[in-house]
Structure formats: C-alpha cells, structure tokens
Structure 1
C-alpha cells in the first residue's frame, strides 16, 4: 500500500475539521449579512449613494442648460456663507424651531397628563382624536389650514371676531399674506400636525411612572401641581429629552406645510433652510451645486444643535 493511500484519511479529516470550523465561526457572520443584504442594498441605493452624489454636486457649478459641470471646490459654501439671504434663512429657521418645539412639547405634556386620568369608556376616542393629525398628509393639512386662514371665509378669523379679539374681519390678521403673521401661521400648522406623536410618546412616559410615588406625595399633603412639578416632570425627563431631539430634527426638516401654505413667502418671510434648498434647486434657474452645499450646511447645523441640546439637557435627565 502506498504512502499517499495511508495519508488520505488524515487529509480528509483535516478537510472535515476545516469545514466544521468554517460553519461554526464564519458561516454565522455570512448568514447575518445575507439577512441584512436587502436592507443594506436599500440604504446603499437610497441613502449612501445620494449622500455621496450631493457632496460631489456641492463642489461643482452646473450650467442650467446642458448639465455642464465645472469643479469649483468650496466656492459654493463660501458663496452661501457670505450671502445675506442665506443668513436670513438661518434666522427664519431658528425662529421656526423656537416656535414649534417648546410649544409642541408643552402642549403634549399637558394633554398627556390630562389623558392619564380616568376618562371612562371614551378614553380610546380622545387618544385617537389627538393622534389623527399624524396620519394626515402634509398636503391635506396644508389645504385644511389654507381654508382656516382665509381672510374672508376662514373660520379662525371668524371666531376671533366673535370672541371680541377684533372688531371686524378687516382688522383680523391676513395670516398667509402678511410678513408679520405668515411664519406664525406655519408654526401653528406644523405644531398641530406633530402634536399627536408628541402626546402619544409623552403619555407612554407618564403611564410608566410608578403610582407609589404619587401615593407617597398625597400622604405628605402634596397638591396636584406639586405632584406634577416634583414627580411627573423629573421622572418624565428622559421622554422629554427624546421629544426635544426628535422635534428639533423634524422642525429643521419641515417642508410640506410651508410649500402648501406660503411657498416661502410672502417675500422671504417663511423661507426656511429646507425650503430654500428646494427653491434653489428646482425653482427659477436651477443651481443644484448651491442647493447641495445648503443641504450639507443644514446637516451640520442639525448635528450642532443636537449636540448642544444633548450637552445642556442630558444633565437634567433622571433615569431613576
């Protein structure tokens, strides 16, 4: 019998051992990536490639006709940072965020506390009613508020006159046609549409608080406002912190209500950064390089604001 024949079982054993080791250590990783492949492919097509493409566009100037691209480096960014219109959009965006975020979270906490009390058999109806704006598209919400804000037949001005806030319809605000009121009108519409989501999250946080804390406070003679101040709000701080970050990001990206209600006007009264990106890229003479640079500056601004809020608010968050 030859030597190769004697060594054959040993080589087969080594091959089987290697395959077993591969199945035990390497195959689980390969299997995991196979399961993740559809999601990773979707992220590649719809997230990572657009991110790279937009950054590539931000470094170029593109002719409005013929799509001729010319590399300009960071000139698009310098153009924006020295443009008064860009800084005006930053100011309007910050005012918009300051108008929507604190108002939306405050109303959400108040409604969540009210909904946490026993409301009988109609509790499910009230919660569903508050959540309805979330499932309404921004286009429908915009059309609805256009009718409410109408200076002649709008219900908002009608009830303001009926309540005695104004003597007649002529003195009531021209919500969408006035520079003084247009941003306020968009803030109200955006806050209303986001309110349902905030209430549901805040309500979940309120209901997660142990009742024993309230029972102990009642024994000590604490009133309703004292219980809310010293128990509900501190123990709700993780939920409020989450809502703060989510609402800031949402407000920076708000588009639908502005597009339906004002389209950035009147003048530039509601020209937020997101709508300015759309206006620069698709309205009038397209400047996709400038618009892409605006998008990256907006992303940087959102990250900075998120870190500032994380550093400032995280210290006041109580997880126990």
Structure 2
C-alpha cells in the first residue's frame, strides 16, 4: 500500500505574524489612554494649566495700574491666613453651607416621597411647579425675594404677623437690612432655588426602588414610616450622596447670588 503526498512548492507557505509579548501587554493600556486623550487634553487646557498659572501669579504682587509684577513668595498666603476678614468669610460660608445643604436635601427627599404616590391627573403639574425655580434666573429670584422680604409690604412679614410670630409689620424682621437676618434670608432663597433640582434627582431615585420590597414590608405589617426608614432611605443612599456633593459644590460657588 503506497501513500502519496503533495509537496507545496517552495515559498508557497507564508509565515504567520504573531504579536510580541510586549505589544500584547502594552496595547490594552495604551488603547484606554487613547480613548481618554480628548478628555485629558481638555482637563489639561481648562483645569490644570489655569491652576498652575493662578498659583504662579499668587506668588507675585501686581501693581493696581500697569503690568509691574514683583515676586513675594508666600507673603500673600501669610496675609490671607492672618486676616480677620478671611476667617470671618470662612465662618459665614460654613454657616451658609450647613444651612442650605441639609435643609435642601431633607425637603427634597420628603417632597420626592410625596410625589412618588399617585396624585391623579395633576401629578405632572405638581412636578413642573416644583422644578420652576431651577429655570428662573438669579436676577428674577433676587427681585422676587426682595419683594417677599420687604420690611413694610413684604408677604413673608405679613404672614408672620398673621400667625402671631410678630406683633406688627414694624416689629417683624428686617430681612435684608439687619446683620442678624440677612444670612438666613440668603439661605432661604438659595434653598428654594436649588429645591427643584434636588427633588427631581431624589424622585428618580425613589422611583427606581423595586416595589417588591414595599410589598413584602406591607405583608409583614410595616407601616409607612417603617417602610421609609428601613427601605426608602437605605436604598436611596447613593442618590443622597450624589445630592450631598452637588449641593456642597453649588453652595461654595454661590457668590454671585
């Protein structure tokens, strides 16, 4: 019995190209950086370079008129940290943040839980009404609250008198004209303006909670407060953390308002 084989002509078989071990190890990492390159370039141009430039300028003292610049090292930082006005600003800012962030998030969660229940055909209207402050400009908000805080014809003082919290309009708080009430007035206005965004985010988090958790709790006899405490709030913690970070950033950037 004979077996015949066909021999390939010389040079017909092509060598198989294989990637080197170095290429296989490096390429996945390099590929990720290539995808991130546009974002990293934007951060470099619009974030890191301005930070470095600002720090370099802070080490110099520039004349009010002209371009005369003199290197002073850390003297500007020493002047800042030893200034009583600076530490007073820090104190006021911390009070402002502590006044707006917890209050705004607590109100947003309460309203989100309320709006998550069936409210009939007008549910869309209530949600839109709460979101209105977000789309109102800062100038309109200022005019609105200036009228509300007016010491003589202000609607807020009117209701304080009607509820017996103030004896007369003359004895009601001067919200914008007194040192004791001005910061509280700004906290109230800022909380109201940020409330719409907080409610929408919190409402999305509440609606993403699986209804089976509530059904099982009802079968076990849990009341509404127990369901909120043991189901809603724990499962809402990622949303609350997001709102906490966003509101802190917003409060520290509220100088223009």
Structure 2 counterparts to residues 12-51 of structure 1, below 5 A: 37=38, 43=43, 45-51=45-51
The yes-or-no answer on 1:238 pairing with 2:238 is yes
TM-score (norm 1): 0.67
For residues 240-291 of structure 1, the C-alpha deviation after alignment (integer angstroms, 9 at most, x for no partner) is 111111111111111232xxxxxxxxxxxxxxxxxxxxxxxxxxxxxxxxxx
Structure 2 counterparts to residues 103-122 of structure 1, below 5 A: 103-122=103-122
Secondary structure class of the residue paired with 1:61: strand
**Structure with the higher helix share, 1 or 2:** 1
For residues 14-56 of structure 1, the C-alpha deviation after alignment (integer angstroms, 9 at most, x for no partner) is xxxxxxx9xxx7xx96xx67x965x666655543443222112
Uncovered stretches (5+) of structure 2, i.e. residues with no partner: 1-22
Q: Distance in 2 between matches of 1:253 and 1:212?
A: 41
CA contact (8 A) 1:108 1:198 kept: yes
Q: Distance in 2 between matches of 1:43 and 1:152?
A: 50
Secondary structure class of the residue paired with 2:70: strand
Q: Distance in 2 between matches of 1:49 and 1:155?
A: 49
Per the alignment, residue 227 of structure 1 pairs with 227
Per the alignment, residue 80 of structure 1 pairs with 80
Q: Distance in 2 between matches of 1:159 and 1:198?
A: 27
The yes-or-no answer on 1:96 pairing with 2:96 is yes
Uncovered stretches (5+) of structure 1, i.e. residues with no partner: 1-20, 258-320
Per the alignment, residue 156 of structure 1 pairs with 156
Structure 1 stretch 54-63 or stretch 97-106: which is displaced more?
A: 54-63
TM-score (norm 2): 0.83
Q: Distance in 2 between matches of 1:190 and 1:65?
A: 37
Q: Distance in 2 between matches of 1:230 and 1:51?
A: 44
Q: CA RMSD in A?
A: 2.4
TM-superposed CA distance for 1:57, in Å, is 1.6
Q: Distance in 2 between matches of 1:234 and 1:77?
A: 43
> Which of structures 1 and 2 has the bigger CA Rg?
2
Secondary structure class of the residue paired with 1:181: helix
Secondary structure class of the residue paired with 2:61: strand
